[in-house]
């Protein structure tokens, strides 16, 4: 079973021919008035000139997904969708790549180390806790993620190395491209909660009804202003 999971296994999930496509764009916005500090020269002081500011317009690594388990997807004839049960996060140049990886529960992630130095891969996140120890090529370590949730991963000897595994309940998700566009295909017709996620911003959810055939557009704007007020 272990050897089977470590290879690129493809499962075919039968979906009804009545399926739609969800697509559009995700972008982020900062709080109004923050840019005034830069215009007033407040970042030119000795203490603040090295303070790195976030450019919300350049944010990447958004993930859009249908929340929860699907109960209305019929397991009969139709166009199958492929679920890859082995994914990979490389360690190269003391960086985890990709920085964000969305997967379904049951997926195994491989962690090859392509550097000439040792790295370590560990997490203390509630959905999955592990410590792979120190290693480098040709050894490749693996972890199977069996519970949904966010898993923050680090290297114990290099402080800048971190990445995020987003473990989801179903295969209907997509990461955005460099322009912020996403596309989720073969979604069974029905009503769902569609969520846009980013590691630094509050999530945004929208209730959607996917048509039996055709495309639907759902855009998102994530902002810190979406945080609840107490």
In three-state secondary structure terms, 213 is strand
3-state secondary structure 80-112: CEEEECEEECEECCCCEECCEEEEECCEEEEEE
Give the H or E element holding residue 2: helix 2-5
Q: Do domains 18-30+55-70+175-230 and 85-169 have the same CATH topology?
A: yes
Q: According to the model, what pLDDT value does residue 42 have?
A: 63
Fold annotation for 18-30+55-70+175-230: Immunoglobulin-like (2.60.40)
Q: According to the model, what pLDDT value does residue 214 have?
A: 85
Q: How far is CA 117 from the centre of its chain?
A: 27
Is the C-alpha dihedral spanning 196, 166, 211, 193 positive or negative?
A: negative
Class of the CATH domain delimited by 85-169: mainly beta
Q: According to the model, what pLDDT value does residue 49 have?
A: 60
pLDDT tens, position by position, for the chain (230 residues)?
Answer: 443 333 333 333 344 457 899 999 999 998 766 665 555 556 666 666 666 777 888 899 999 999 998 875 544 334 455 566 899 999 999 999 999 999 999 999 999 999 999 999 999 999 999 999 999 999 999 999 999 999 999 999 999 899 999 999 999 999 999 999 999 999 999 999 999 999 999 999 999 999 888 899 999 999 987 555 44
Q: According to the model, what pLDDT value does residue 19 have?
A: 86
DSSP state of 229: P
Give the H or E element holding residue 26: strand 19-29
Domain segments of the chain: what residues?
Answer: 18-30+55-70+175-230, 85-169
């Amino acid at each position: 079973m272990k050897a089977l999971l470590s290879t690129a296994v493809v499962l075919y999930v039968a979906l009804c021919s009545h399926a739609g496509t969800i697509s559009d764009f995700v972008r982020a916005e900062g709080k109004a008035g923050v840019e005034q500090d830069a215009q007033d020269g407040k970042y030119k002081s000795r203490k603040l000139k090295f303070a790195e500011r976030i450019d919300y317009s350049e944010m990447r690594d958004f993930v859009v997904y249908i929340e929860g388990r699907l109960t209305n997807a019929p397991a009969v004839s139709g166009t199958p969708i492929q679920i890859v049960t082995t994914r990979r996060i490389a360690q190269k140049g003391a960086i985890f790549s990709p920085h964000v990886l969305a997967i379904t529960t049951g997926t195994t992630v491989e962690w090859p180390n392509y550097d000439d130095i040792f790295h370590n891969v560990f997490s203390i996140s509630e959905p999955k806790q592990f410590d792979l120890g120190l290693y480098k090529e040709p050894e490749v370590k693996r972890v199977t993620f069996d519970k949904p949730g966010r898993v923050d991963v680090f290297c114990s000897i290099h402080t800048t190395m971190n990445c995020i595994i987003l473990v989801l309940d179903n295969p209907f998700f997509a990461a955005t491209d460099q322009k912020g566009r996403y596309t989720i295909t073969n979604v069974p017709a029905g009503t769902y909660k569609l969520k846009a996620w980013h590691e630094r911003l509050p999530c945004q959810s929208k209730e959607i009804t996917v048509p039996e055939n055709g495309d639907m557009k759902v855009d998102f704007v994530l902002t810190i202003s979406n945080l609840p007020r107490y």
